């Protein structure tokens, strides 16, 4: 397979458009919250379950692998670039819109977070989900729109592999 086939698969353009939209929305929300709203100085309660707070995530999901300094940053960027390349190759062979949509969401989210890592050295996370009762509290991790896109994409791929038309069926 040559490079032209990676760019011109039947649903590649659709998936790349989804990736671009996801990445742009993620970056726009972060830029607005950082530089217009000044989230660092204005944490905001959005309701009983959600707050906007600024978290500088130097690791990956849940802050894992956050102690690597500049070397860790570049290793994570390299891994992310490799993952996006593999996802793009998969996208070039996508046979239905759900696969292309899901892969595009994952790629767009990965690129959105990679841009943060390149620009700031950390990923901008800002949505804090929490639930509390009289004597208990559950805090979910702080996330961003790129994370939402990645999770939605993974859910789409899981749906397709387990429930979708092409899912493996028991005899």
The model's pLDDT over 116-157, given as tens digits with 9 standing for 90+, comes to 999 998 999 999 999 988 899 899 889 999 999 999 999 999
Q: What was the pLDDT predicted at 107?
A: 98
Contact by Cβ (8 Å): 53, 130: no
- Output phi, psi for 125, to 5 deg: -115, 145
Strand 50-57 with 44-45, pairing: antiparallel
pLDDT at 62 over 60: no
- Candidate from 34-38, 64-68, 75-79, 121-125 with smallest mean pLDDT: 64-68
> Has 147 been annotated as catalytic?
yes
| Residue 82: pLDDT band with limits 50, 70, 90 | very high
> Has 135 been annotated as catalytic?
no
How large is the average pLDDT for residues 26-37? 96
pTM of the model: 0.85
Q: What was the pLDDT predicted at 102?
A: 98
d(CA 73, CA 58): 7
Contact by Cβ (8 Å): 149, 105: yes
Q: Which of 38, 116, 135, 147 is catalytic?
A: 147
Residue 113 corresponds to which tokens in the numbers above? 């977070």
Q: Which of 38, 51, 70, 125 is catalytic?
A: 125
Q: What was the pLDDT predicted at 132?
A: 85
Q: Which residues, 6 or more positions from 158, have their beta carbon under 8 angstroms from its beta carbon? A: none
């Amino acid at each position: 397979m040559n490079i032209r086939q990676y760019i011109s698969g039947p649903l590649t353009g659709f998936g790349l458009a989804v990736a671009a939209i996801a990445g742009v929305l993620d970056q726009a929300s972060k830029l607005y919250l950082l530089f217009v709203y000044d989230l660092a100085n204005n944490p905001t309660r959005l309701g009983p379950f959600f707050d906007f707070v600024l978290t500088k995530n130097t690791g990956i999901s849940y802050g894992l692998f956050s102690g690597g300094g500049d070397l860790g940053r570049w290793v994570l960027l390299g891994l992310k670039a490799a993952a996006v390349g593999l996802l793009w190759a998969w996208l070039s062979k996508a046979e239905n819109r759900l696969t292309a949509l899901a892969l595009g969401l994952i790629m767009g989210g990965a690129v959105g977070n990679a841009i943060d890592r390149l620009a700031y050295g950390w990923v901008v996370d800002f949505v804090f989900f929490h639930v509390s009762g009289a004597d208990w509290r559950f805090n979910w991790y702080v996330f961003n729109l790129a994370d939402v896109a990645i999770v939605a994409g993974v859910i789409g791929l899981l749906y397709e592999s387990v429930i979708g038309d092409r899912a493996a069926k028991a005899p």
